Structure 1
Amino acid sequence: MESLKISDYMNRHPVTFTTDMTVAQAVELFLKAKQIGGPVIDEHRHVIGFLSEQDCLKKMIEATYLNEYHDVVGDVMHLEPLTVHANGSVLDIAQQMTHAKPKIYPILDENEQLIGVINRSDVLRAIDNQLKSMYEKGHTRMV
């Protein structure tokens, strides 16, 4: 099976967040982008955390009960998110995703700066493309 590189299937324009952004602002970005999670980055595009829709949902429910809404992304983000590098293998991520690992991974370059994300749909698309290609090659040999 040919190598499936992360860089060939990643989203190069993901929604990102900063620690001082309000949760309400983050929710607006999630809704516009239809992305389920995203990296929290610093001014140098280093990934310092990860924010999910679920994190925001929890805070929004609390805000509804408390009738106040002042949380920022830095208060609710996950620290030390799992990241991958662009030259890594899609199949390796696929293996990790079969367990209770994240559904979306920030992708870093050689300087440890964010260059994109990859999610389960991207991984499924990569594997599906690979399998279709293998089938077509095998099918044409038989004819």
Structure 2
Amino acid sequence: MQSLTVADYMNRHPVVFTASMSIEHAVERLLQSHQRGGPVVDDQQRVVGFLSEQDCLAAMLRDTYHNEQSANVGDCMFKGDVLMVVDHHSITDLAQSMQSNKPKIYPVVDSSGILVGIITRTDVLRAIDVHLQNHYRQR
């Protein structure tokens, strides 16, 4: 099981955002992709924040209340230390850390810190399930 890596199960084509993108455009992208949130990247594809559905909801409610469309992703995103995982990280190790850290989506970076995808709790569950199913079939 330790040989299963994040790269084996991550989404290599996630929806990503830039800080200058309007919140309305970001919401449109989330709704089309059915993704619950995603990394915010700079011009070098380095993660600078994270935008969740909850962040978008708060911004859109605020804009509706003030009857304007002024928010952008940079105004609403989480700007702290975004929990990320390296693509060669073990699925088992990630599953264990997901028990204490609560993000549902982790940006995946390569060894240079460049975004290469995302991995969700569902992806991790799928990886473990596939491994267990294959293990039981071999018995």
TM-score higher than 0.5 here? yes
Of the structure 1 ranges 26-35 and 100-109, higher mean CA displacement relative to structure 2 is found in 100-109
Which residue is equivalent to 2:71? 71
| Alpha-carbon distance in 1 for matches of 2:43, 2:9 | 26
- Root mean square deviation, CA, Å: 1.1
| Alpha-carbon distance in 2 for matches of 1:97, 1:110 | 21
Which residue is equivalent to 1:141? none
Q: Trace 1:26-65 onto structure 2 (pairs within 5 A).
A: 26-65=26-65
Given the alignment of the two structures, is residue 25 of structure 1 paired with residue 25 of structure 2, yes or no? yes
Where do 4+ consecutive residues of structure 1 move more than 4 Å? Answer: none
- For residues 49-85 of structure 1, the C-alpha deviation after alignment (integer angstroms, 9 at most, x for no partner) is 1000110001111112111120110011112211110
| Alpha-carbon distance in 2 for matches of 1:119, 1:56 | 19
Which residue is equivalent to 1:6? 6
Unaligned stretches of 5+ in structure 2?
A: none
Deviation at 1:99, TM superposition (A): 3.2
| Alpha-carbon distance in 2 for matches of 1:53, 1:96 | 22
| Alpha-carbon distance in 2 for matches of 1:51, 1:68 | 20
SS in 1 for 2:65: helix
SS in 2 for 1:130: helix
Q: Give the alignment's TM-score, normalised by structure 2.
A: 0.95
Q: How many residues align?
A: 138
| Alpha-carbon distance in 2 for matches of 1:61, 1:74 | 17
Q: Please say if residues 2 and 92 of structure 2, whose CA atoms lie closer than 8 Å, have aligned partners that are also in contact.
A: no
Deviation at 1:100, TM superposition (A): 4.6
Q: Trace 1:118-137 onto structure 2 (pairs within 5 A).
A: 118-137=119-138
The 1:28/1:52 distance shift into structure 2, 3 A limit, reads same
Q: Give the alignment's TM-score, normalised by structure 1.
A: 0.92
Given the alignment of the two structures, is residue 106 of structure 1 paired with residue 107 of structure 2, yes or no? yes
Q: Share of identical aligned residues, percent? A: 51
Q: Which amino acid aligns with 1:45?
A: Q
| Alpha-carbon distance in 2 for matches of 1:93, 1:51 | 21
Deviation at 1:44, TM superposition (A): 0.5
- For residues 12-35 of structure 1, the C-alpha deviation after alignment (integer angstroms, 9 at most, x for no partner) is 000000000010010000011110
Q: Which amino acid aligns with 1:109?
A: D
SS in 2 for 1:98: helix
| Alpha-carbon distance in 2 for matches of 1:22, 1:112 | 25
